[in-house]
């Protein structure tokens, strides 16, 4: 399922950012550069509106911002791995290292929910998170995330 939404071109390793906002911007820009978004600013506005409703900063260093909007051409996931971590205000006080920006068209409810669910399940596994931190390339990240489980 992640095969259709993930690509090496959408992976930033290392993710060079000092704030949650900068991290999300860089991931969204990567999707835009690769033709997945019609309008970068409109997509970012939808992401920030979603963040205002409920923060997507989770425990264990995970951040999964997401938005469904008509500015998305094709459902996609941009991935950023921050080796040093970013203080995003997680409840467990851990630095955030794993950023997964989900972009889905307005009419893609089922795809959006499946992708969120799949990523959430994968990232619950400490072994997966440790493998992602050890990875040194986009190809390695992609291989870890696309393993059958």
* Selected residue with higher pLDDT from 39 and 118: 39
Nearest CA to 120 out of 95, 89, 149, 93 is that of: 149
Whether pTM > 0.85 for this model: the answer is yes
What domains can be seen in the chain, in order of their start residue? 2-146 (3.40.930.10)
CA angle 51, 55, 57 (to 5 degrees): 125
According to the model, what pLDDT value does residue 2 have? 73
pLDDT single digits (tens) 95-117:
999 999 999 998 876 776 887 78
Quick check: 115 and 104 in contact, CB under 8 A?
A: yes
67-101 as b/e: b if 16+ CB within 10 A? bbbebbebbbbbbbbbeeebebebeeebebbbbbb
């Amino acid at each position: 399922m992640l095969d259709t939404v993930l690509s090496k071109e959408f992976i930033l390793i290392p993710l060079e950012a000092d704030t949650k906002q900068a991290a999300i911007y860089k991931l969204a820009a990567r999707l835009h550069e690769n033709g997945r978004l019609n309008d970068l600013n409109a997509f970012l506005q939808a992401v920030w509106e979603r963040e205002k409703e409920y923060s997507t900063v989770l425990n264990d260093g995970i951040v999964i911002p997401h938005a469904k909007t008509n500015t998305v051409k094709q459902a996609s996931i941009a991935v950023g791995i921050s080796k040093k971590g970013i203080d995003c205000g997680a409840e467990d006080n851990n630095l955030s290292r794993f950023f997964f920006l989900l972009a889905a068209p307005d009419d893609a409810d089922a795809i959006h929910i499946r992708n969120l669910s799949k990523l959430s399940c994968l990232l619950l596994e400490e072994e997966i998170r440790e493998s992602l931190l050890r990875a040194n390339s986009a190809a390695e990240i992609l291989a870890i995330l696309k393993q059958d489980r």
